[in-house]
A and B are shown apart, each in its own frame.
Chain A
Amino acid sequence: MHRTLRFVAAVLALTLLPFAAARAQLTIEIVGGAGTAIPISIVPFGGESVFPLGISGIVAADLARSGMFRLIGSDNVNPRPVRADDVKSDVWRARGADAVVVGSMQPLPDGRVDVRVALVDVVKSSTLTTMNYTVKPAQFRATAHKIADVIYEKLTGDPGVFSTRIAYITKSGPRYQLLVADADGSDPQTIVTSNEPLLSPRWSPDGTRIAYVSLEAKKPVVYVQNLATGSRQAVANFRGSNSSPAWSPDGRRLAVTLTKDGGSQLYVMNADGGNAQRVMSSSAIDTEAYFTPDGQSILFTSDRGGSPQIYRLTLGSGAVERLTFDGSYNVSARPYPDGKGFVFVRRDGGRFQIATQDFATRQVQVLTSGPGDESPSLAPNGKLILYANEVGGRGILAAVSSDGRVKQRLIGTGSDVREPAWGPYAR
């Protein structure tokens, strides 16, 4: 099943025409879906056609892209239902749908629009939820993502991530950019532009700041940048290399890799700079720190055993435990939000693949085939993993569900895309 959703580009052409040309737009292609996708019909909303940018189309695209849903057409259903009471379950069940979304959009005198949406279970003939938003047309896209989040959670049991944002790095000729976009790739905003490499973007837990590494000073320096104001601060600029920032769950501290005292070693410092404390001493490489969700321990990569492997440091006791044993290269661990396991990069022969491991059972599941998969980043619901992969010498972003069944490619235009970071839930 190869379905390319070009709607994003089309919508952008309408809404962001003056800016679109200068930005690397990502288009999402679904390359494999869940076997148990829920059949759902998203009926165009009553009154929607008077607006150049509607809502139901974005909701449908969000749900389809997740791989958890299969869209059922609503053509030739007359009269078109706009309220839950209008939905005739037998009609939709005959079409193969288990759920139907209907809605209406009513302009108000102040220019805002009254948006009413209902989600109907046509198997049980019951209304699962209704939503009501009063929004300006400029908020339609954000509203659509919120509606998709509610539908996703009602039908799958997991929170949706359609309202979240992602960050990533592009390289175009000699120019590097750090961009932030909606989770569907739309509305990319340039946060940093540099003629020297940028890497390791990391969202603060509240989504207001991004830590990253820039080589603009002819060495790696860690910066923290405020997204609202654009102001930034070099928080780790010590002698030697400063790299691999990771936020503590409370957003007050950063784990970083510093070489100021010799070797690549792990430190924890204040997120606004200063008070860098070494958390462990070794004569080996220690890097790629990532806090576990409880903030009590740090996953990291070390070559102390002769090859790069993933370890866990318990901050209170200083105890260190090796977690990976299979293969000679296991790196870039990121813990799942539920704290039960982690996703990482493994090398199998010459292929770099995304895999996941359970803390308790140590069971490893390989999710991708490589050959050049790296920089995994988990969605805040833990259900999707965004990662970088190289195809023909050019980097693209891809996503895989944490059970390995749903795969997506996010294809940019004209530039090398790498280092994705999935942001937190919108607040």
Chain B
Amino acid sequence: MKNILFAAMALMVLAGCSTTPTEAPVEDKSAMATPATTPSTGASTTGTNTAGVSGATGSGTDPRKDPSNILYKRSVYFDFDSFVVDPQYKSIIEAHAKYLVANPAAKVTLQGHADERGSREYNIALGQKRADAVKRMMTLLGVRETIVETVSFGEEKSKNPGHDEAAWAENRRVDIVYVGE
């Protein structure tokens, strides 16, 4: 499985140049409706920091806060029990990797998540493995290892509070969060 993953990432590195960032934002409006920068279940202190994101994009200078920019997309979703990055998310990871390479002051935390089924402690490790998989892709794309911290919230911070397959699919994810935003 690991070999396949590396092969896929190598392909992505090659394909990276030809991917145009403009083609991606069309497909997923849900990511724009719910700002993915902050888990909705988070503490109130988190919410205030990003209050301006969903409303005023008028500042315009920060592409990460522009809903029409691919950098606005912050979530990578995973299959059940899986930590393999689905190819459909490669353009998002590539865009953030490019941004990080171009902006040496920027740092990110990759927050891994799992759905609610099974052991809470094992789910922390599963979320971590997902975050690590995204990090590995970013470092292969030239991002310095030291500016990416991977952490996991396990099953503790659901994006969708439901208890069905649709909810679980939304909760198996990695969120890309820039330090200080």
Q: Which of B20-28, B61-69, B117-125 contacts A (4 or more CB under 8 A)?
A: B117-125
- Whether A288 and B122, one on each chain, are in contact in the complex, defined by CB atoms closer than 8 angstroms, is yes
Which residues, 253 to 278 on A, are CB-close (under 8 Å) to B?
257, 259, 262-264
- Whether A301 and B119, one on each chain, are in contact in the complex, defined by CB atoms closer than 8 angstroms, is yes
In the complex with contacts A259-B150, A288-B121, A352-B118, A195-B129 CB distance below 8 A? no
In the complex with contacts A218-B151, A219-B151, A220-B152, A241-B122 CB distance below 8 A? no
Which residues, 99 to 134 on B, are CB-close (under 8 Å) to A?
109, 111, 117-122, 124-126, 128-129, 132
Most chain B CB atoms below 10 A, which of A200, A263, A287: A287
Which residues, 61 to 102 on A, are CB-close (under 8 Å) to B?
none
In the assembled complex, A230 has its CB within 8 A of some CB on chain B? no
> Hey, what's the 0/1 contact readout for A195-235 against B, CB within 8 Å counting as 1?
11101100000000000010110111000000000000000
- Whether A285 and B119, one on each chain, are in contact in the complex, defined by CB atoms closer than 8 angstroms, is no
CB of B138 to closest CB in A, whole Å: 14
> Hey, what's the 0/1 contact readout for B146-160 against A, CB within 8 Å counting as 1?
000111111011000
Q: How far is the CA of A285 from the CA of B149 in the complex (A)?
A: 18
In the complex with contacts A197-B157, A215-B157, A285-B129, A239-B121 CB distance below 8 A? no
In the complex with contacts A197-B157, A240-B151, A374-B125 CB distance below 8 A? no
Q: How far is the CA of A285 from the CA of B129 in the complex (A)?
A: 8
Q: How far is the CA of A239 from the CA of B42 in the complex (A)?
A: 21
Q: What size tier do the contact residues of chain A reach?
A: 35 or more
Interfacial chain B residues near A60, Cβ < 8 Å = none
- Whether A352 and B150, one on each chain, are in contact in the complex, defined by CB atoms closer than 8 angstroms, is no
CB of B70 to closest CB in A, whole Å: 24
Q: How far is the CA of A325 from the CA of B45 in the complex (A)?
A: 45
Q: Which of B45, B46, B122, B157 contacts A331 (CB 8 A)?
A: B122
In the assembled complex, A248 has its CB within 8 A of some CB on chain B? no
Q: How far is the CA of A395 from the CA of B57 in the complex (A)?
A: 41
In the assembled complex, A308 has its CB within 8 A of some CB on chain B? yes
In the assembled complex, A375 has its CB within 8 A of some CB on chain B? yes
- Whether A393 and B149, one on each chain, are in contact in the complex, defined by CB atoms closer than 8 angstroms, is no
In the assembled complex, B18 has its CB within 8 A of some CB on chain A? no
Interfacial chain B residues near A218, Cβ < 8 Å = 46, 109, 111, 151
Q: Which of A215, A239, A263, A329 contacts B129 (CB 8 A)?
A: A263
In the assembled complex, B166 has its CB within 8 A of some CB on chain A? no
> Hey, what's the 0/1 contact readout for A335-376 against B, CB within 8 Å counting as 1?
000000000010100101000000000000000000010110
- Whether A374 and B128, one on each chain, are in contact in the complex, defined by CB atoms closer than 8 angstroms, is no
- Whether B163 and A220, one on each chain, are in contact in the complex, defined by CB atoms closer than 8 angstroms, is no
In the assembled complex, A419 has its CB within 8 A of some CB on chain B? yes
- Whether A374 and B120, one on each chain, are in contact in the complex, defined by CB atoms closer than 8 angstroms, is yes
CB of A344 to closest CB in B, whole Å: 10
Q: How far is the CA of A345 from the CA of B163 in the complex (A)?
A: 20
CB of B127 to closest CB in A, whole Å: 8
Interfacial chain B residues near A56, Cβ < 8 Å = none
Most chain B CB atoms below 10 A, which of A259, A332, A374, A375: A259
In the assembled complex, A243 has its CB within 8 A of some CB on chain B? yes
- Whether A174 and B132, one on each chain, are in contact in the complex, defined by CB atoms closer than 8 angstroms, is no
Interfacial chain B residues near A213, Cβ < 8 Å = 124
Which residues, 76 to 119 on B, are CB-close (under 8 Å) to A?
81, 109, 111, 117-119
Which residues, 5 to 36 on B, are CB-close (under 8 Å) to A?
none
Q: How far is the CA of A347 from the CA of B123 in the complex (A)?
A: 14
Interfacial chain B residues near A199, Cβ < 8 Å = 120-121, 154, 156
In the assembled complex, A324 has its CB within 8 A of some CB on chain B? no
Nearest B residue to A393 via CB reads B163
- Whether A262 and B124, one on each chain, are in contact in the complex, defined by CB atoms closer than 8 angstroms, is no
- Whether A243 and B151, one on each chain, are in contact in the complex, defined by CB atoms closer than 8 angstroms, is no
Q: How far is the CA of A174 from the CA of B158 in the complex (A)?
A: 12
CB of A394 to closest CB in B, whole Å: 10
In the complex with contacts A263-B129, A287-B125, A331-B151 CB distance below 8 A? no
Interfacial chain A residues near B119, Cβ < 8 Å = 288, 301, 308, 331-332, 345, 374-375
Nearest A residue to B119 via CB reads A331
In the assembled complex, B43 has its CB within 8 A of some CB on chain A? yes
In the assembled complex, B44 has its CB within 8 A of some CB on chain A? yes
In the complex with contacts A215-B156, A331-B119, A264-B125 CB distance below 8 A? yes
Interfacial chain A residues near B157, Cβ < 8 Å = 197, 215
In the assembled complex, A177 has its CB within 8 A of some CB on chain B? no
Nearest B residue to A301 via CB reads B122
Interfacial chain A residues near B120, Cβ < 8 Å = 199-200, 374-375, 418-419
CB of B148 to closest CB in A, whole Å: 11
In the assembled complex, A377 has its CB within 8 A of some CB on chain B? no
In the assembled complex, A244 has its CB within 8 A of some CB on chain B? yes
Interfacial chain B residues near A350, Cβ < 8 Å = 117
Q: How far is the CA of A383 from the CA of B164 in the complex (A)?
A: 35
Q: Which of B109, B118, B150 contacts A329 (CB 8 A)?
A: B118
Chain A interface (Cβ < 8 Å from any Cβ of B): 174, 195-197, 199-200, 213, 215-216, 218-220, 239-241, 243-244, 257, 259, 262-264, 285-288, 301, 307-308, 329, 331-332, 345, 347, 350, 352, 372, 374-375, 393, 418-419
Chain B interface (Cβ < 8 Å from any Cβ of A): 41-46, 81, 109, 111, 117-122, 124-126, 128-129, 132, 149-154, 156-157, 163
Top 9 A-B residue pairs of the complex, sorted by shortest distance between their CB atoms:
A197-B156, A264-B125, A219-B151, A195-B43, A285-B125, A331-B119, A287-B125, A244-B121, A243-B124
16 contacts between A and B (CB under 8 A): A174-B41, A199-B121, A200-B121, A215-B153, A215-B156, A218-B151, A240-B128, A240-B149, A241-B128, A244-B124, A257-B125, A263-B128, A287-B124, A307-B81, A347-B118, A352-B117
